[in-house]
Amino acid sequence: MKAIITGGAGFIGSHVAEILLEQGHQVLVLDDLSGGFGDNVPPGADFEKRSVMDPLDHLFQSYRPNVVYHLAAYAAEGLSHHIPVFNFMNNTVATANVLAAAYRAGVEHFVFTSSIAAYGHPRENQAFDETTVCVPCDPYGAAKLACEHYIESFYSYFGTPAYSIFRPHNVFGPRQNISDPYRNVVGIFMSAVLRKQAMPVFGDGSQTRSFSYITGVARCIGEAPMTPAARNTVFNVGGDVPMSVGELARHVAEVMGVPAQIRYLPPRKEVQHAHCRHERARAAFPHVYAEQVDIVTGLKKMAGYVQSRPVPQVTECPSPIEISDLLPLSWAGRLGLQAPAAIPAD
């Protein structure tokens, strides 16, 4: 099989590339390196520095992939309120561009990574399953849901390519960009520890998520085109065990061998509790879920990885702030912006 992976120098994409190469497939990685790193591209993969907003027809038709894995995105959910135009261009418009090029090149299967953000706030604190009505509460979730609908409608109209859509959540592990201060809370915490700073927590840290170690998520995504049950299907994919952000901070400190130092920040508007059910993914990929890595074991693996490497330079947002109102004060300060309008009381 020949595969193109957009965002393949990023976190999840590089792991998917590695899995496919281990299985004997040919891989071409496309990445503009705005959030990924060239060192993440695994040996044996071809690499093309290219934006998913660029014309792609010549490249796709020259390479003739059987499968396209579209993972390129700037996945800063909270920041998306403040960069809405960039967010929709980078997600929705880019997906339309990649899917059209894939279709014209005769691609048979299109794999897309959406997000738990498509669901929005839970109803009565219930975990989301794939039948839950999606009511996204931020531009990132809205853009991802729009991409899902477009991919499904594209297949309905043209009859090809087949698709698999994944909604990962709170994924962490080696090769994650730990120096983006606006996304990936595990990376933010580990970066703070490495820089001998307190870990920043919005509010009281009682928010809960089910953090997901990368291996299982990447294997489900990588194996989707070879899995009949994954054809034209949407999956939640990730971990099952809830953990509060405050508890996560304490675990991060423990695995990195330091006292837990936490800097509590004013709360920001976000989903308080977000968790998924995974019966559908468990049925389609039982061998993957049978080997899930628990959160603490995964944190130890990631800590070993980040502590063995130099602390990377901070990766700033690739877009200017478009709307500064309600921007968290800590973000406004680092961006050199004036204090934003206050968050109204609920």
Q: So which residues are the catalytic ones?
A: 140
Q: Read off the DSSP letter of residue 71.
A: -
Asked if residues 52 and 30 have their Cβ atoms less than 8 Å apart, the reply is yes
User: Burial, 137: exposed, middle or buried (Cβ in 10 Å; 0-12, 13-18, 19+)?
Assistant: middle
Please write down the long-range contacts of 269-272, taking CB distance under 8 Å and 24 or more positions apart. 269/326, 269/343, 270/77, 270/78, 270/202, 270/207, 271/120, 271/121, 271/122, 271/137, 271/207, 272/121, 272/206, 272/207, 272/208
In order of 16, 168, 225, 314, 327, the CA distances from 68 in angstroms are 12, 18, 10, 30, 36
CB atoms within 10 A of CB 4: 28
